[in-house]
Amino acid sequence: MSRVSRSLFGAACDGMQASLYTLRNPGSKVAVGITNYGATLQSLVLPGRDGATADCVLGFDELKGYRGADNPYFGCIVGRVANRIAGGKFSVGSESYTTAENNGPNTLHGGERGFDKVLWDTTVSDVPGQSCAVRLSYSSPDGEEGFPGECRTRCVLPAAGASGGGGAAAAAAAMLMLTLFLMHQRHVLAEC
């Protein structure tokens, strides 16, 4: 049984198709859904104390929710910066830069077309008897949204239980930590 499945998730703004990758480990109730649109964690299904499973992150069932103006950056990797650049301007040494303003006069989470609004390159590693993972990468060219220099970003999401030792609970904890540190995510902890 494949531990990583891929399905179409909808059309991105450039007409290309976004995909949804679902990672599972046989014998585990843990499942993770991640889309290559914004490297967005779409779902994290975990078993509760009673054994029933629940999705523990807030998100949307369809891509159009992530593309909508009212999306509060659920589950995505934001960039090039997290938070705001006041007035859409900053300096590095003697060089001044003007970035795309998308939050009044400010740049929020990378601008109009931040990392959360692009399709990331995706590779899947799913070899029986070995660990499996979804690897996402995005290369932001020099000048994109007004930012200087090329910025290459990578994210690796292992399948549940693929982290070695500790089984599904350890893998779920590792995925939750990845979510907290790298992604703009909100959790429904009351259900987990």
In CATH, what number is assigned to the domain containing residue 145? 2.70.98.10
Banded pLDDT at 164 (limits 50, 70, 90): very low
Residue 88 lies in a domain: no
Residue 37 lies in a domain: yes
Q: How many CA atoms lie within 13 A of 124 on its CB side?
A: 18
Amino acid letter for position 68: G
Structure token pair of residue 149? 């220099």
| SS (HEC) of the chain | CCCEEEEEEEECCCCCEEEEEEEECCCCCCEEEEECECCEEEEEEEECCCCCEEECECCCCCHHHHHCCCCCCCCECCCCCCCEEHHHEEEECCEEEECCCCECCEEECCCCCCHHHCECEEEEEECCCCCEEEEEEEEECCCHHHCCCCEEEEEEEECCCCCCCCHHHHHHHHHHHHHHHHCECCECHHHC
pLDDT value, residue 2: 57
Q: Select the more confidently predicted residue: 186 or 104.
A: 104
pLDDT value, residue 181: 40
**C-alpha–C-alpha distance, residues 137 and 12, integer Å:** 17
Q: How many residues does the chain have?
A: 192
- Domain extent, residue 153, equals 4-76+117-191
Residue 104 lies in a domain: no
Residue 184 lies in a domain: yes
Residue 94 lies in a domain: no
Q: What is the pLDDT of residues 26-76, one digit of tens each?
A: 778 888 999 999 999 999 999 988 989 999 999 999 999 999 888 899 999
- What is the percent of the chain with per-residue pLDDT over 70, rounded to a whole number? 80
Domains held by the chain: number: 1
pLDDT value, residue 76: 92
Q: Look at residue 172 and tell me whether its pLDDT is greater than 70.
A: no
Q: Look at residue 175 and tell me whether its pLDDT is greater than 60.
A: no
Residue 160 lies in a domain: yes
Residue 91 lies in a domain: no
Q: What is the pLDDT of residues 119-150, one digit of tens each?
A: 999 999 877 777 788 999 999 999 999 999 99
pLDDT value, residue 24: 84
Lowest-confidence range among 80-89, 115-124, 142-151, 155-164?
155-164
Residue 98 lies in a domain: no
